[in-house]
Structure 1
Amino acid sequence: MSHAVDFGDLVAAAGDAVVVSDADGAIVVWNRAAERIFGFSEAEAIGQSLDLITPERQRQRHWDGYAKTMRTGVTRYGADTLRVPAIHKDGHTLSIAFTVGLLHGADGAVTGIAAIIRDETKRWTEERQMRQRLAELEARLEAKVA
């Protein structure tokens, strides 16, 4: 029994954002989950630079790594989950986690990067609050012991 998969349908149905950028860093795929997470419609995102969702202070590092990956065909991240800040259309900061995969042309050269992205802002905020609460409790305990 054959199960043909339409990859366009798969990308559209994914619960995580699927963002693909070309060799120059222009967005060429932007699914519904990306719209939900980042606030930009597909029409607003396609053809735009990844600067659309990259905070200004992270851009130089991002583009240095991107250019190196395009030049060498190697990413040091592989299957690692990266956690970085991103920006929403309305300007608020997001905390995202993502994995990347390199896309290759028929000649083997890297033609782009696919990222599968999840919004972890809520989890990150909750963890930060728990760490702060733990530090407060430890400080209180130390004060009682001293």
Structure 2
Amino acid sequence: MQSAIDFEQLVNSIGDAIIMSDAGGSITVWNPAAERMFGFTSGEALGKSLDLIIPERLRGRHWDGYHKTMATGETRYGNDVLRVPAWHKDGRPLSIAFTVALLHSPQNELTGIVAVIRDETSRFQEDRLLRKRLAELEASTSA
């Protein structure tokens, strides 16, 4: 038995942030989880550049990759998780992990990208503390 899927309900109820952007990098979908994660309401995010959440020092690299993906129709982050820094509206740094999918028109033209994003800030900070502690222990045993 098949039932119709209400994609809007799915996007709005899922716990991970879902952000869609058009070919130029303007945000077209910003779900409630994205609001919670990044602090911007959908009204503040829709129509804006992805620069809203990308740290300034990483924007050049991001846009080089974004435009290359739009030109070639290929991305390696459909299956591989990308972990990068991001920004919250209040200015605090975030560590996010995400995968992307390419969006196509009925004529199979590449029209944009959707990212499914998880906040890994706490995990990243815990890993950093564990690595620091391990280095301290290794240094104390070799002294």
TM-score after normalising by structure 2: 0.98
Larger displacement relative to structure 2 (27-36 or 66-75): 66-75
| Structure 1 equivalent of residue 131 of structure 2 | 131
Deviations 1:94-117 (A, max 9, x none): 000000000001221110000000
| Structure 1 equivalent of residue 109 of structure 2 | 109
| Structure 2 equivalent of residue 32 of structure 1 | 32
Deviations 1:8-50 (A, max 9, x none): 0000001000000000000000001000000000100000000
Matches within 5 A, 1:46-57: 46-57=46-57
TM-score after normalising by structure 1: 0.96
Give the Cα separation in 2 of the matches to 1:107 and 1:66.
Answer: 21
How many residue pairs end up in the alignment? 143
| Structure 1 equivalent of residue 44 of structure 2 | 44
Give the deviation of 1:3 after TM superposition: 2.1
Deviations 1:61-91 (A, max 9, x none): 1001111111111113231000000000011
Highest CA radius of gyration, 1 or 2?
1
Give the deviation of 1:138 after TM superposition: 0.8
RMSD after superposition: 0.7
Larger displacement relative to structure 2 (119-128 or 106-115): 106-115
Give the Cα separation in 2 of the matches to 1:34 and 1:115.
Answer: 11
Give the deviation of 1:60 after TM superposition: 0.3
Give the Cα separation in 1 of the matches to 2:9 and 2:18.
Answer: 12
Structure 1 consecutive aligned stretches of length 4 or more whose deviation exceeds 2 Å? none
Give the Cα separation in 2 of the matches to 1:98 and 1:78.
Answer: 9
| Structure 2 equivalent of residue 84 of structure 1 | 84
Which consecutive unaligned segments of at least 5 residues does structure 1 have?
none
Percent of residue pairs bearing the same amino acid type: 64
Give the Cα separation in 2 of the matches to 1:42 and 1:78.
Answer: 24
